[in-house]
């Protein structure tokens, strides 16, 4: 049998591709290290805005806890938020922008929550400047909201816009069993998601065993303090064996992210609660999870999806969204 490509030529090509990969990876690292907000004093508008939103979300999650609510929680997040807002003002960025309003608002929601519980917040004066502690009607955003089970019972009759706009990430589940067939239906529908050149390098590991779920989440570290484990945990991966060129080195994250969002919309359609959990772990934690889930070394772990049943009502972060004008730039 005659091959059109010789082994020697392919070997030489592979060596060149590896050199090219190292060069492109170096460019990735250089671009990331130059632009990422690695310090609060990295003070471009986008860097400060992103750090503000990171801490806003951390405080929102704390405020949404119905069980084990820790009064006076989040002092580190509040302290960092204060510093970011001060630097933002020093840079003379507009106070009408989304992140600034979110940052100022969440401090006031924090105070509101503690006042409603007759809890002392005098400690805030030690880490927050007085101006940020004053009630101001401009800053009415951020905080928490309630999601009701009754609103989810009609999900299959909603159009896509209604379904997507009413979706919320939920970590506090009822503890009732989940029919895995509904989850598989959501995954099956998600398989229509586009992938690069239709290679479909996805792998989804579905775990129902509570012991395994507990072990995975112990290393993932994103579910601590919640009273009930997910009924089902998905680990979404993409095989790097699907890719042919160094220019595709980040495509696993693109394909995996697209598939994951499709699954999440499918779960919402089925009336199931879920939350996305990131895979930004240290190497030791990732190694342990790979061992537990039996993930092949060729596969990139993208993220996890924790799934459960909705409670009759559950408190979740508001998670406000930027305006269309903030996101879209017409060229």
CATH code of 180's domain: 3.40.109.10
Q: How many domains does the chain have?
A: 2
**Per-residue pLDDT tens digits for 262-307:** 999 999 999 999 999 999 999 999 999 999 999 999 999 999 999 9
- Residue 177, pLDDT score: 97
**What one-character DSSP code corresponds to residue 152?**
G
Assess if residue 2 is contained within a domain.
no
Assess if residue 218 is contained within a domain.
yes
Distance, in Å, from the CA atom of 44 to the CA atom of 152, rounded to the nearest integer, reads 41
- Residue 1, pLDDT score: 76
Query: Are residues 302 and 279 in contact, defined by beta-carbon separation less than 8 angstroms?
Result: yes
Q: Where is the domain boundary, 142, 157, 179?
A: 142
Half-sphere exposure of 298 (CA within 13 A, CB side): 8
Query: Are residues 156 and 164 in contact, defined by beta-carbon separation less than 8 angstroms?
Result: no
Residue 306 structure tokens: 């924790």
Co-location of 178 and 307 in the same domain: yes
Helix residue ranges, H only, the chain: 7-35, 45-63, 75-90, 98-116, 130-133, 160-165, 180-190, 210-220, 251-269, 283-293, 324-327
Co-location of 136 and 204 in the same domain: no
- Residue 196, pLDDT score: 97
Q: Is the overall model pTM greater than 0.85, yes or no?
A: yes
Q: What is the largest CA-CA distance in the chain?
A: 83
- Residue 219, pLDDT score: 97
Query: Are residues 317 and 64 in contact, defined by beta-carbon separation less than 8 angstroms?
Result: yes
- Residue 227, pLDDT score: 85
Co-location of 131 and 211 in the same domain: no
Distance, in Å, from the CA atom of 124 to the CA atom of 144, rounded to the nearest integer, reads 20
Co-location of 212 and 98 in the same domain: no
Q: What is the CA radius of gyration of the chain?
A: 23
Assess if residue 77 is contained within a domain.
yes
Half-sphere exposure of 181 (CA within 13 A, CB side): 1
- Residue 70, pLDDT score: 87
Q: Where is the domain boundary, 93, 121, 142?
A: 142
Co-location of 245 and 301 in the same domain: yes
Domain that holds residue 56: 45-142
Residue 52 structure tokens: 């503000």
Co-location of 249 and 153 in the same domain: yes
Co-location of 236 and 114 in the same domain: no
Co-location of 100 and 201 in the same domain: no
CA angle, 168 then 222 then 285, to 5°: 145
Backbone angles phi, psi at 239, to 5 degrees: -80, 125
Co-location of 188 and 265 in the same domain: yes
Co-location of 168 and 138 in the same domain: no
The pairing of strands 144-148 and 313-317 is antiparallel
Distance, in Å, from the CA atom of 304 to the CA atom of 50, rounded to the nearest integer, reads 23
Tokens 């049943």 found at: 309
Assess if residue 310 is contained within a domain.
yes
Co-location of 88 and 170 in the same domain: no
Assess if residue 61 is contained within a domain.
yes
Assess if residue 256 is contained within a domain.
yes
* H/E segment holding residue 275: strand 273-278
Write out residues in the chain with pLDDT < 50, as ranges.
none
Co-location of 178 and 272 in the same domain: yes
Assess if residue 70 is contained within a domain.
yes
Assess if residue 303 is contained within a domain.
yes
Q: Where is the domain boundary, 115, 142, 169?
A: 142
**What one-character DSSP code corresponds to residue 248?**
G
């Amino acid at each position: 049998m005659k091959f059109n490509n010789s082994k020697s030529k392919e070997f030489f090509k592979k060596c060149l591709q590896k050199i090219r990969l190292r060069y492109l990876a170096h460019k990735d690292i250089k671009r990331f290290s130059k632009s990422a907000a690695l310090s609060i004093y990295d003070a471009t508008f986008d860097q400060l805005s992103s750090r503000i939103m990171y801490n806003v979300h951390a405080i929102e999650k704390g405020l949404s806890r119905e069980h084990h609510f820790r009064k006076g929680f989040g002092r580190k997040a509040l302290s960092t938020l204060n510093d970011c807002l001060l630097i933002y003002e020093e840079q003379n960025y507009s106070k009408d922008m989304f992140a600034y309003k979110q940052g100022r608002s969440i401090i006031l929601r924090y105070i509101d929550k503690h006042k409603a519980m007759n809890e002392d917040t005098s400690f805030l004066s030690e880490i927050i400047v007085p101006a940020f502690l004053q009630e101001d009607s401009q800053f009415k955003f951020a905080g928490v909201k309630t999601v009701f089970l009754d609103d989810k019972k009609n999900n299959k009759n909603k159009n896509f816009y209604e379904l997507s706009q009413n979706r919320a990430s939920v970590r506090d589940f009822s503890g009732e069993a989940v029919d895995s067939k509904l989850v598989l239906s959501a995954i099956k529908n998600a398989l229509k998601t586009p992938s690069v050149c239709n290679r479909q390098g996805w792998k989804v590991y579905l775990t129902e065993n509570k012991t395994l779920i507990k072990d995975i989440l112990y290393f993932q570290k994103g579910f601590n303090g919640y009273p009930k484990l997910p009924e089902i945990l998905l680990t979404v991966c993409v095989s790097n064996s699907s890719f042919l060129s160094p220019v595709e080195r980040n495509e696993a994250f693109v394909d995996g992210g697209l598939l994951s969002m499709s699954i999440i919309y499918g779960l919402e359609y089925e009336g199931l609660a879920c939350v996305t959990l990131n895979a930004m772990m240290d190497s030791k934690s990732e190694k342990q999870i790979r061992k537990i889930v039996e993930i092949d070394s060729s596969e990139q772990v993208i993220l996890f999806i924790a799934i459960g049943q909705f409670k009759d009502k559950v408190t979740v972060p508001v998670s406000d969204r930027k305006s269309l004008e903030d996101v879209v730039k017409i060229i």
